[in-house]
Structure 1
Amino acid sequence: MKFVDEYRDPELAKRIAAEIARLSDGRPLKFMEVCGGHTHTIYKHGIEDVLPRSIDLVHGPGCPVCVLPMGRIDDAIAIARTEGVIFTTFGDMMRVPGSKGSLLDAKAEGADVRFVYSPLDALKLARQHPDRQVVFFAIGFETTAPSTAVTLLRARAERVKNFSVFCNHVTIIPAIKAILDSPDLRLDGFIGPGHVSMVIGMRPYTFIARDHHKPVVIAGFEPLDIIQAVYLLVKQISEGRAEVENQYTRVVRPEGNVRALEAMARTMELRPFFEWRGLGFITHSALKLRPEFADWDAELRYEVPGLRVADPKACQCGEVLKGVIKPWECKVFGTACTPETPIGTCMVSPEGACAAYYNYGRFSMAAERDHLRSLSQTP
């Protein structure tokens, strides 16, 4: 890719959309973009307004901040409030609400909570403060897990014992399986996550095409990437195929990133089960540190509540994460729940579907409402 403009050509977008309309021939098709980054591109650039009305894009559980249950936030706050701890986290986790406030609230009450750009920043803090315990709040899909793995390997090599990781890395494939098994959602295909696929490659998605007969197209994050991915999905369906295709060839390789996968395998292993917001407990869907790294495991070093906490009754993040409802269909969207006063995680995270709708989707939301209203009034 030489220039971003290559992937934002409006005339080319219109031509591809016209071909999508021709191939779909008015057939209603519903595709899930698994990644929250895709959701923001869709609404920032008005992609739904370019595509035919028969194409419906729904949002999946591809935002790692959004799928983390409130109980794990409470666990993180408990560690942050431990005397002598410097608790480090990515910035988007600071305002995620737990049952009794957020990490930002804990910081205001005296806890030493700091945001960092990478786990290596947290390890640097540990070197600078040998008299303090530094904990890194590790979250994310396979995209961010390799950086945590490399940091753990370096911490062990340097024997930095005042550093530990509160591991909350999750894996995308079990979540997709849970969605495919959901009885209240019909999907015709998937726009596969680009950054996750950069690490895990193409092979893990083959079961979707083989066992469920749904096409998958791994896509990049520019507007034309997503429009082309929709075209490839519609083309597969029109030809009676169900395969895994790679639109994001400039970044994703079929085998993924072998060295990143090796680093993850050396430092982490699958948990027997893990709770996801909106999806409940999913087996083998998250990572924990291997026993060899017990000295750097914050879950073993600190006492945490470990309690399951129900979401606020007014919040419908779970339904949004499963693609059952659109964000604006939530009862508190844009009223009680805004980016400034979030109730649910989908409104907090920069990758959250509700934040995307709120920040970019007002005109699309109004158009969708008008469209649904017109359908209901059609005799």
Structure 2
Amino acid sequence: MKYLEEFQNPELARRLLDDIRATVTRPWALMEVCGGQTHTIIRHGIDQLLPDEVELIHGPGCPVCVTPLEVIDKALEIASRPEVLFCSFGDMLRVPGTDRDLFRVRAEGGDVRVVYSPLDALRLAQQNPGREVVFFGIGFETTAPPNAMTVYQAKKLGIRNFSMLVSHVRVPPAIEAIMRSPDCRVQGFLAAGHVCSVMGVGEYPELAERHRVPIVVTGFEPLDILEGVRRAVRQLECGAHTVENAYPRAVRPEGNPAAQAMLADVFEVTDRAWRGIGVIPDSGWRLSERYREFDAEQRFAVGGIQTREPAACRAGEVLQGLLKPHECEAFGTTCTPRTPLGATMVSSEGACAAYYLYRRLDLPQVRIAAPAGVEASSVV
């Protein structure tokens, strides 16, 4: 398949790895921003193939994972109402709220449906004029344009029984927050290519200059990741901190102006809470005043939600790059894809899910207290 097999060539991968080994002279820590990149790294063992001097830190680049618990609980509250037909992408159904998930709501009688496009939800609203149809709109800059277009179409067509629960987040403010953290070890970034295909690279040079870190825009195949690492390491070794586009087959410097215009019309920038991280200024979008009538949060008045994160879940540290998933005591024991404590274990882009799927034997040894007179043992 074009642009797929070409970027999984093992001989070219070996050459890139040789170049990285020949270049690196000291330890460097790079963060891949996107969860899709994390899955490629873990699936293909790229972090294990790199020289010991190069560490890859997994960033908060999974929109499902960073959707705050309060928003999940609001979605559960709305979806439970008898007049609501609640639509979502499939990866949100297993994300745990305070005491249940969307699968549980559906099992209890809620009309929860998986759709493959926000326009599917709009079509359901047209077909069910007596129901309130709500679409769960989450994601980074990549999924925001189609969601904005759907709200635009709802207003244009006069479809009043459609609304959207919005939890969109923006990548550059998250990079800013990561670099300002006192615990930050990141010295360079592999930026998400699909985000930059929409927004371009205009917001990144200022970040690179202010924090003196290289930012390399990369794709999602193994050779994309390795080329991004190679370019970042070369910059670090010579003291450079510029923005490079290593994904030119998909990313133009200016991005997609039509998509940006749609975002500017339908959304406005706002502060947004990130699950496990906290509120990041100007890091999200909400519906602009012109389209506020389609805001499900206002339409259903779901305020005063009380949330409670599981005490054993350390997903927040994973999302900040402070902890590798398998270093969490709950990983693979009390927290699995069937019994998740946090979204990072169930999302298709979650770091914990990647480690569980592709690195099952890396579970930490957990000491189990033995009854009196019986020798203690370690189990995985």
What is the TM-score when the length of structure 1 is the normalising length?
0.94
8 Å contact 1:216–1:242 — kept in the other structure? yes
Matches within 5 A, 1:274-289: 274-289=272-287
Aligned length: 365
Q: Which deviates further from its counterpart, 346-355 or 293-302? A: 293-302
Alignment partners' CA distance in 1, 2:180 and 2:63:
20
Match of 1:345 among 343, 346, 352: 343
In 2, the alpha carbon distance for the partners of 1:214 and 1:188 equals 6
Match of 2:208 in 1: 209
Distance 1:306 1:15, change over 3 A: farther
- Measured at CA, do residues 308 and 178 of structure 1 come closer, stay the same or move farther in structure 2, by a change above 3 Å? farther
Looking at structure 1, the residues matched to 146 and 339 of structure 2 have their Cα atoms a distance apart, in angstroms, of: 31
Contact 2:33 2:192 in 1 (8 A): yes
Identical positions, percent: 51
1:278–1:317 CA contact under 8 A, matched in 2:
yes
Q: Which residue of 2 aligns with 1:168?
A: 167
Q: Secondary structure at the match of 1:286?
A: strand
Q: 1:308 to 1:279 in 2, by over 3 A?
A: farther
Query: Aligned residue for 2:124?
Result: 125
- The TM-score normalised by the length of structure 2 is 0.93
C-alpha distance in 1 between matches for 2:341 and 2:190: 28
Report the alpha carbon displacement of residue 34 of structure 1 after superposing the two structures with TM. Answer: 0.6
In the alignment, is the contact (CA less than 8 A) between 1:178 and 1:279 conserved in 2? Answer: no
Query: What is the one-letter code of the residue matched to 1:319?
Result: E
What letter is aligned with 1:116?
V
**Match for residue 329 of structure 2?**
331
Instruction: Encode CA deviations 1:74-98: one digit per residue, 9 max, x unaligned.
Output: 1011111122110000100001111
Alignment match of 1:290 (pick from 288, 304, 308)? 288
**Which residue of the partner structure matches residue 269 of structure 1?**
268
Aligned alpha-carbon RMSD (Å): 1.5
The answer on 1:227 being equivalent to 2:220 is no
1:45 counterpart residue number:
44
C-alpha offsets along residues 290-322 of structure 1, whole Å, 9 cap, x if unaligned? Answer: 111122111121021343524211000000000
In structure 2, the residue matched to 1:372 is none
- Contact 1:17-1:51 within 8 A present in 2 as well: yes
Which letter maps to 1:326? K
Separation in structure 2 between the aligned mates of residue 199 and residue 293 of structure 1, nearest angstrom: 22
Residues 198 and 256, structure 2, Cα contact 8 Å, conserved in 1: yes
Q: Report if the CA contact (8 A) 1:166-1:298 is conserved.
A: yes
Of the structure 1 ranges 129-138 and 299-308, higher mean CA displacement relative to structure 2 is found in: 299-308
In structure 2, what residue type is equivalent to 1:134?
V
2:192 corresponds in structure 1 to 193
1:252-293 deviation line (CA, Å, top 9, x unaligned):
11001110010011001012x221112111111111111111
Please give the alpha-carbon distance, in whole angstroms, between the structure 2 residues aligned to 1:229 and 1:211.
Answer: 21
Mark the runs of 5 or more structure 2 residues left unpaired by the alignment.
366-380
